[in-house]
A and B are shown apart, each in its own frame.
Chain A
């Protein structure tokens, strides 16, 4: 595999990089079309795999007949569960808290299939055309079982069981509390009870998945390439799956063409394809196509939440009681229980709401397994809180901004312990520093909130229904438990950083290089970076939860300090060198003397070699593991302004505002890109995107013309961003994560905007829609709303 390293050239002066809009050096190769994505990599002599997938949502597999398929030209083998020597055939789930039942995903279907798209057999052939020809001829005899696709039905006794041995379809449950969980309705003046429905979505990275596998080192080791955000995790799972030691497995992950959470997963194919390589003793490749991606890459967001909010007459929220059920599909995703956990853990956002009583559950159904998607449950949580705030404001006759001001946590209350969360690796949510009220005011000012009613009237004169929606959220980012980095000062005087963060589009290569260059006081051009190879970075937590800059970057800066220590001690070891006269300054070693001597970084290896009498300059390496005991939290205000054409249900977004705090910004260009990208993705999800199953469990959305993504014409016409930088004391460099927040705020802001636009109609906006033209026209056909105060 060709290493993708950025070229390093020496420059004399050190520079400050944190906060600079540095252009991405990796764009050079990407813009020339040489991104080195997995489908572009050479796979010499590799046979091509096509996976035979279940067409039944729920069935016993009675027989698999391969004869007709095997007779087809170019077929090398057809493999089923019995042909693969798997020692361990379940895939990991890291949020199985005590009490969780075992609904882990099997690598391949044996006696039972549980969702349309589940892998049943592998066809190995000379090329994909021939493999698909043969796959069509594999005969599978299914004995259908009754499917259940609705989680609200699946959770009830008497529903068809996906795992009869478990006795139930409710496989995970967490209780989350804060303050007095037994608070009562009579403690307040207004009670709001709502059921919120969140529809099923999916990540749709432009790059679908892929895996190659081959034996290397004379057949002693297995080399797997995969489109994964978790190469180190995959390596461990492969070793367990085949009962071999870790050293016998090498995983390399190339640059990813987007992930958004669906590549934060260990997939069956990532075990099956290597199993085929081992069985057949030859290289193999599997490249996923879009049709199979819709059925077999993880889905997201589908849940139902019953909420009860108790509110005082002055608008203060006293308590929130939630019961939630997540439709996690047929088996656990790697972090499949995280979204529903996030509902209870993060629902209150920046609002005080002192009392919380939440019970969140995961329910298995005959759908594709569910995992995280940008925001990881945050969008749903923010939507519940923000809709409740608007409902309360309406009932109490309060202004929507005012009720938010009434409830926001004040800066002097932070840090603040928010109670028990249930997250597997963050048992308590403790908010770090921030200024939520200032963030709200900034958003309202940018949106010209004071004009929203007159704008609405003006739009009505043009025949448009205009609405404005406000949302605020707090996002858990930069989760631990730790992160690692390795660094080398090479013989030619350049720096090579081995990062644990994968580039998925977020520009991690540039961000990491900025941080290391600033730490060392050198030019960025002197820093090269590599990642994704478990031989080079054997131990890392990985790329997810908006932790690249904050966690990965922190590890990078700390390893820079370790390198400096090692360089100084290398000089200190030289006889005649006085350690007390050594400093690191301006990107090099300073020997105080007199005379003062400065040795810039790029000359250090040669200088050391000369001082030590070595023939050749050597390499100085350092590594570091930074413990991350607690996550840090970003927050923002989003304000969406929409206009609906009541004749066609079409919805446009003339204005969108984000006022955002992600702590110390490393690269504002990249930060803005993440926010805008997240917002548009969130907008698309609530306007049109919908993974649709029929009642028999057949997946209806199989193509990009079925599942309609946002396009260039959907970008908000007037999009304003504003940043606050409150450093977080929870991160050594004050950095908070930023990758996901755009989506978290967008769902709630859009839902509130739709509700506002339709305020004169008796319409319930109790969930994520999607707010398609059909949805909007149906809403417009409802009777006018009768204005009734709901005070008790």
Chain B
């Protein structure tokens, strides 16, 4: 999956001008010790060097949420961090959350509520929902809107995402149209 010759890591190894720093980080349960270029963005480290392409880089400025992952249990942007800043941290991406096969409970709710269309922003939302569930956020809490404001979706108009997220947090079904197989 990794582009063989053009990882920043590889280029960095060859270039004395590219300063590097050691990094010790756990990604999806696996401990890594490596050397990375100082300026390598965490989003690029995860996507290009580790092949974890579920997260997407859609804005590069932390505004859209498509690059969201979980660091030390909290949802966080990966495009506004350098890889080297995650020294000692535990990182979880969607690949680390996925069940071995098929869809988990939250993913299933997203499918049933048609809470995704093009799917580009979807991995980011799922990481935020995971962190909301971890914090036991109540579906009627004002915090729900705060967490959801961390993601942009151009396709769905958010109505179905609200329904799926509230269900994931334990609300009863208040959606008028839901699908069946």
Q: Which residues of A contact B (CB under 8 A)?
A: 20-24, 26-28, 30-35, 37, 39-40, 42-48, 73-74, 126-127, 129-130, 203-208, 255-258, 260, 285, 289-291, 503-507, 668-670, 672-673, 676-681, 703-705, 709-715, 719, 742
Contacts and interface: CB of A to CB of B under 8 A. Distances in A.
Nearest to B51: A42
Nearest to B103: A31
A709 B152 contact: yes
A539 B155 CA distance: 28
Nearest to A715: B158
A28 B159 contact: no
A23 B8 contact: no
Contact of B6 (A127, A208, A704): A127
B107 A32 contact: yes
A678 B103 CA distance: 28
Nearest to A668: B177
Contact of A705 (B2, B17, B61): B61
25 contacts: A22-B179, A23-B181, A28-B102, A28-B111, A32-B54, A35-B119, A42-B1, A73-B17, A74-B11, A205-B120, A205-B154, A206-B64, A260-B154, A289-B57, A290-B61, A291-B60, A669-B178, A672-B177, A679-B157, A680-B159, A681-B154, A703-B59, A711-B152, A713-B149, A715-B158
Contact of A126 (B5, B17, B117, B178): B5
Contacts of B1: 42
B80 to A, nearest CB: 12
Contacts of B118: 205-207, 255-258, 503-505
Contacts of B61: 290, 703-705
A703 B177 CA distance: 35
B119 A257 contact: yes
Interface in B112-167: 112, 114, 116-123, 126, 145, 148-149, 151-162
Q: Which 4 A-B pairs have the closest CB atoms?
A: A33-B54, A257-B120, A505-B118, A30-B119
A196 B47 CA distance: 47
Contacts of A668: 177
A256 to B, nearest CB: 6
Contacts of A289: 57, 60
A206 B56 contact: yes
Given A34-B54, A206-B66, A711-B152, A676 B157 contact: yes
Given A258-B120, A677-B156, A709-B152, A45 B60 contact: no
B179 A669 contact: yes
Given A27-B116, A32-B107, A45-B5, 18 more contacts: A21-B180, A23-B179, A24-B114, A26-B119, A28-B111, A32-B94, A42-B2, A48-B6, A73-B11, A127-B11, A205-B154, A673-B117, A677-B157, A703-B63, A704-B152, A712-B145, A712-B149, A713-B148
Contacts of B95: 33
The listed residue with most B CB atoms (<10 A of its CB), out of A127, A205, A709, A719, is A127
Contact of B161 (A33, A712, A742): A712
Contacts of B10: 126
A503 B121 CA distance: 15
A127 B173 CA distance: 48
B8 A712 contact: no
B157 A206 contact: no
B149 A711 contact: yes
Interface residues of B, number: 69
Contacts of B126: 31
Contacts of A503: 118
A33 B59 contact: no
Nearest to B64: A704
A257 B56 contact: yes
B54 A27 contact: no
A709 B156 CA distance: 13
A285 B48 CA distance: 13
B31 to A, nearest CB: 22
Contacts of B122: 30-31, 33
A713 B142 CA distance: 11
B70 to A, nearest CB: 13
Nearest to B144: A712
Contacts of A26: 119
Nearest to B123: A33
A31 B116 CA distance: 9
Given A711-B149, A712-B149, A27 B180 contact: no
Given A23-B111, A680-B158, A704-B152, A126 B98 contact: no
Given A42-B3, A206-B121, A23 B180 contact: yes
A704 B157 contact: no
Contacts of A127: 6-8, 11
B152 to A, nearest CB: 5
Nearest to B55: A33
Contacts of B53: 33-34, 39-40
A715 B154 contact: no
Contacts of A290: 58-61
Contacts of B151: 711-712
Nearest to A709: B152
B55 to A, nearest CB: 8
A32 B103 contact: yes
B172 interface: no
Contacts of A676: 156-157, 159-160
Contacts of B107: 31-32
A207 B120 contact: yes
A26 B149 CA distance: 26
B148 to A, nearest CB: 4
Contacts of B58: 206-208, 257, 290
